[in-house]
Every structure is written in structure tokens, then in C-alpha cells.
Amino acid sequence: MAYHVPALLEESIRGLNIRPSGIYVDVTFGGGGHSGEILKHLTTGRLIAFDQDEDAERNIFSDSRFTFLNQNFRFLKNNLKFIDIPSVDGIIADLGVSFHQFDEPTRGFTFRQDAPLDMRMNKNSPQKASDLLTSLNETELADLFYGYGELTNSRKIARAIATARMQKKQLLTVNDIDMVLRKLAPFGQEHKFFAKVFQALRIAVNHEIDYLKEMLLQALEILNPGGRLVVITYHSLEDRVVKNFMKTGNFEGEVKKDFYGNPVTPFGQINRKVIIPSEEEISINNRARSARLRIAEKI
């Protein structure tokens, strides 16, 4: 199994509108799929790649045009400043979990096999998913599962976890949480239910929405006029954040207007309609089915 097969690869690289002498940033290096394609389009240009997962370092390139930083993309601006890059011509982000992270049992990202409930993208982070299940109170758990998993029975989920803790049941592994929540999964929709439960825990463990917002704000600062922002999302929460930001420059989607009533936005929309994988791509890479691509150009 490849470390990661990038979704919408051709469409996203085309969306970057790469100049051979430009400076580009891949904030989610992973298996290097997007970075490798970007390098093919560069001559005297430069590519900087970020990834907080130390496992991604095994995929880095030996290329004088390429720099890898084992950092979370929330530190985008400061890390680029440290290597004397004040502005760039394009930024690409392929959000979500890599094949490697899903398929490595010890990482605990999937409910398909028993493993410790870890879910940390940065293995040096102090808080695991099991820690959240142990430390959050019932109200906090309900808010987590409703806000990040969009689970309508989040209060029942939180109550089941709280009850299990009172009964001294351990919540350390995939099987542990399966045993506690299985009865709450709608019949015939068990897969979808646990996908949402694990999504909620993963987002919370890795602060995915908060850090995405931090990165997007910094991207707006450092992009040169005419520079492209290319983002691939995999669930509605992060897609809504990206959509609103590209459309209005804020996360609420509030359209601001000038004195004459004209909309004021820092971006021009390259694709007003979200780009999704073709049936052919999905048949080859089923995990691409939920990918959504948005592209904007800084005005």
C-alpha cells in the first residue's frame, strides 16, 4: 500500500497555476504526491513542504529546490520567515488522514481494527483520543460529538461514555469504545455512525478546525497578489470553513461591502463550483470519494 494516493492530483496542480520560477508551499506533505508534481513544473523555483507527522520524513526528496519542515502548518508564516521567505506564489493543502495513518494499526485512526485510541497526527503531542474520553465531562463530550461529528444523538453518546467510566470500564482501545457505543448505532448505519464518532475524536485531538483557520489566515498574509490557494477537504466542517474564507475572507461567510455596496473580498474564485473526483478516479481510489477541491486567487 502506498503511503498516500493524492486525490484530485491533476486538478489541484493545475489550480496552482505554477510558474517555473515561483515559490510554492505544500502544507500537508504526507507521501509527497502533490510535492512531486509541483517539482516537475519548477526550474529555478522553490518548494517548501510541511508535515507534523514524523513518518512523512521517509518520503522527502533529495532536491536542491526542496525544503521539508517537520512542523504543523499552523506555524506556516513563522517557519517561512525563519528561512527568509516572506511571501509565496501558491499554497496547497490536502487535508484529512493519509493512507499510512489509517492503515497503521498503532495510530488508532480507524474503527476497522482494534488498536489503542491514539489518533495523534503528531506523535509527540501529549493528548490522545483516550485521554479525551477520560478527562472531558459529559457536557463537553456531547458538544464534541455534536460539533465535530454532527451526531444528533451526541447526548446519548456522552451519557454512555460517562456511565462506562462510573462502572470503571476502560476506554483505551477501539474495541472498548465499540462495546460502549455499539447499541447507539442506527441499524444498518453502524459504519457511518462510527466514522462520525472517530472523526469527532480525531478533529478534537488534533485541533483540526482551529489550526486550519490559523493556516488560512496566514496563507492570506503571505500569498503574493495573483498567488493561488488550493485546498482539498474531506468533510463538511472543514469544507465550510474553506468555502467561507475563500468567498469572503472570514470564516462566518459574512460578505462585506464597500461604500458603493460592492462586495469586498481578498480572493477571486477560480472554481465557483466545488470540484469533485470523477467516477473513474473513485473506481481507482475509493478513498477519494469524499474529496472536495476549492481554488482561490489572491487579489
Instruction: Specify if 1 maps to a domain.
Output: no
The mean-pLDDT minimum among 92-101, 108-117, 157-166 falls in 92-101
- What value does the mean pLDDT take over residues 187-213? 96
DSSP state of 30: T
Write out the residue range of the structural domain in which residue 39 sits: 9-99+208-298
55 shares its domain with 81: yes
DSSP H or E segment with residue 214:
helix 208-222
Domain end residue (candidates: 171, 205, 239) = 205
Cα radius of gyration rounded to whole Å, the chain: 20
DSSP H or E segment with residue 23:
strand 23-26
185 shares its domain with 196: yes
Dist CA 251 CA 238 (whole Å): 10
Dist CA 109 CA 113 (whole Å): 10
Instruction: Specify if 20 maps to a domain.
Output: yes
pLDDT at 2: 56
- List, in sequence order, the alpha helices (H) in 104-207: 129-135, 138-149, 154-166, 174-181, 190-206
pLDDT at 97: 78
Q: Give the CATH number of the domain where residue 181 resides.
A: 1.10.150.170
- What value does the mean pLDDT take over residues 258-284? 95
Instruction: Specify if 140 maps to a domain.
Output: yes
Domain end residue (candidates: 158, 173, 205) = 205
The mean-pLDDT minimum among 24-28, 142-146, 270-274 falls in 270-274
pLDDT of residue 291 exceeding 60: yes
Instruction: Specify if 253 maps to a domain.
Output: yes
Number of domains into which the chain is organized: 2
pLDDT of residue 101 exceeding 70: no
33 shares its domain with 167: no
Instruction: Specify if 81 maps to a domain.
Output: yes
- What value does the mean pLDDT take over residues 26-54? 97
pLDDT at 112: 82
Percent of the chain with pLDDT over 90: 90
Grid cell locating 259: 461604500
81 shares its domain with 216: yes
pLDDT of residue 113 exceeding 80: yes
Backbone angles phi, psi at 24, to 5 degrees: -130, 155
68 shares its domain with 126: no
Instruction: Specify if 52 maps to a domain.
Output: yes
95 shares its domain with 127: no
| Closest to 59 measured CA to CA, from 5, 139, 96, 7 | 5
Instruction: Specify if 133 maps to a domain.
Output: yes
| Closest to 16 measured CA to CA, from 90, 76, 93 | 90
Please tell me whether residue 282 adopts helix, strand or coil conformation. helix
Domain end residue (candidates: 205, 222, 256) = 205
pLDDT tens-digit series, residues 213-269: 999 999 999 999 999 999 999 999 999 999 999 999 999 999 999 999 999 999 999
- What value does the mean pLDDT take over residues 80-87? 98
65 shares its domain with 87: yes
pLDDT of residue 197 exceeding 60: yes
Q: How far is CA 196 from CA 96, 110, 193, 201, 208, in A?
A: 14, 11, 5, 9, 15
Look-up: residue for cell 513518518? 55
185 shares its domain with 123: yes
Instruction: Specify if 157 maps to a domain.
Output: yes
221 shares its domain with 289: yes
Dist CA 36 CA 30 (whole Å): 11
pLDDT tens-digit series, residues 132-173: 999 999 999 999 999 999 999 999 999 999 999 999 999 999
Dist CA 104 CA 97 (whole Å): 11
Q: Give the CATH number of the domain where residue 266 resides.
A: 3.40.50.150
- pLDDT band at residue 105, thresholds of 50, 70 and 90? low
